[in-house]
Amino acid sequence: MKRITIKDIAKKVGVSPAVVSVVLNGKKNERIFVSDEKRKKIIEIAKREKYFPNRYARALATGKTYTIGVIINHLEPYSSYLLENLQKYALKKEYEIIPYLIEDKIEKERKIFEKISYGNTDGVIITSFLNKPEEYLNYAKLYKMKILSITPPIGNLPCVYFDEKLAGKLAAEHLIKTGCKRLCVAGGYKDSPRFKGFIEYAKKFGLKVIEIIDDKVRGYFEDGFLIAKRILNLEELPDGIFAFNDTIAGILISEFNKKGIKIPDDVSIIGCDNTQLCYYTTPNLTSIEIKTKERAKIAIDMIIDIIEGKEIKKKKIILKPKLIIRDSTKR
């Protein structure tokens, strides 16, 4: 069956294709008047005939691709959930997202930014970064890119993030309140604000924190086994662990269960991200809710406003995380 075109709709209504384009794209054009009757008829025909705009024709007509690039490091529970929500909210605004995996490779990230600079997308969302923050400011300036980050703030770039230091504080506060004294942070990277928040809060109670952190062992699935091994090789087992993310926390629970270490009786474990993974561990994982859905919606709204040249009243939006208590920590 032949797909209906703008020209076909125009012929049925008795108007020019330009009029149909203006109506279906929801754009106002002072030079083109459309009566309410004909506007209604155009929309009715488009719906009845299941008209879908030709993306490439639309791009040629508007000078926009209606796509948003998303720079992502690896696909794991958190990033997959984030991508799912970014795509969901982008589609509601008639945009699509294009994920670009950088896999911890600075050179790959650089090449992706160069590729994007040729106009493959209208804007870019950074969900993780490898380079120094000033590099991203250079990309924005050099390539005249519209960039937004879902990372700790990068200079004056628009940002939608969660208060990482508060996330660390909430984890430490809960472990200390429930009687943990030998604390540990595991996974992630050395300067992680969530670990800084954790360590700073623990210091207020005179507690030292064991740091199982390595630049080569971050927060991905395979890293969890190495982290678990390092913790199990300590002279004295921690009784409270804050893992960089739910993936690491889930593997720690699994590996400790194999060794007969009781959770939370022997060790309390807290993750971060509050992904679906929390319900697949035994016991279910206590985690920090980082408002992924809410941040995805705000990020899409903001990057589209930037693409469309609208004024952004607040360039940095930092949301408050929340502790979700389950069975991997003492009550």
> Mind listing the pLDDT tens digit for each residue in 13-55?
888 888 887 787 666 555 677 888 888 888 888 888 877 666 6
Q: What is the residue extent of each domain of the chain?
A: 6-57, 62-162+292-319, 164-289
Given pLDDT bands bounded at 50, 70 and 90, which one contains residue 273? very high
Per the CB < 8 A criterion, the answer to whether 149 and 123 are in contact is no
Kindly report the CATH number that applies to the domain delimited by 6-57.
1.10.260.40
Residue 108 near residue 71 (C-beta atoms within 8 A): no
Q: Residue 310, exposed/middle/buried by CB under 10 A (0-12, 13-18, 19+)?
A: exposed
Distance between CA atoms of residues 306 and 51, nearest Å: 28
* The pLDDT of residue 218: 66
* pLDDT tier for residue 57 given thresholds of 50, 70 and 90: low
Q: Which of 112-116, 231-235, 260-264, 289-293 has the lowest average pLDDT?
A: 112-116
Listed residue (294, 293, 288, 301) closest to 328, CA to CA: 288
User: Residue 29: what residue type?
Assistant: N
**Planar angle of CA 276, 279, 284, nearest 5 degrees:** 135
Query: In whole numbers, what is the pLDDT of the chain averaged over residues?
Result: 89
- pLDDT tops 60 at residue 61: no
CB 171 within 8 A of CB 323: yes
Whether the CB-CB separation of 127 and 151 falls below 8 Å is answered with yes
pLDDT, tens only, 173-226? 999 999 999 999 999 887 899 999 999 999 999 999 999 987 666 678 888 999
Backbone angles phi, psi at 318, to 5 degrees: -115, 115
Pick the CATH number of 164-289 from 3.30.70.260, 3.20.20.10, 3.40.720.10, 3.40.50.2300: 3.40.50.2300
**pTM for the whole structure:** 0.82
Half-sphere exposure of 323 (CA within 13 A, CB side): 19
pLDDT of residue 23: 82
Q: What is the mean pLDDT of residues 73-87?
A: 94
Q: Which fold has domain 62-162+292-319?
A: Rossmann fold (3.40.50)
- In tens, the pLDDT along 247-259 reads 999 999 999 999 9
CA pair distance 280, 290, nearest whole angstrom: 19
C-beta separation of 274 from 288 below 8 A:
yes
Q: Could you tell me which residue, 237 or 129, shows the higher pLDDT? A: 237
Q: Three-state secondary structure along 143-201?
A: CCCCEEECCCCCCCCCEEEECHHHHHHHHHHHHHHCCCCCEEEECCCCCCHHHHHHHHH
CATH topology identical between 6-57 and 62-162+292-319:
no
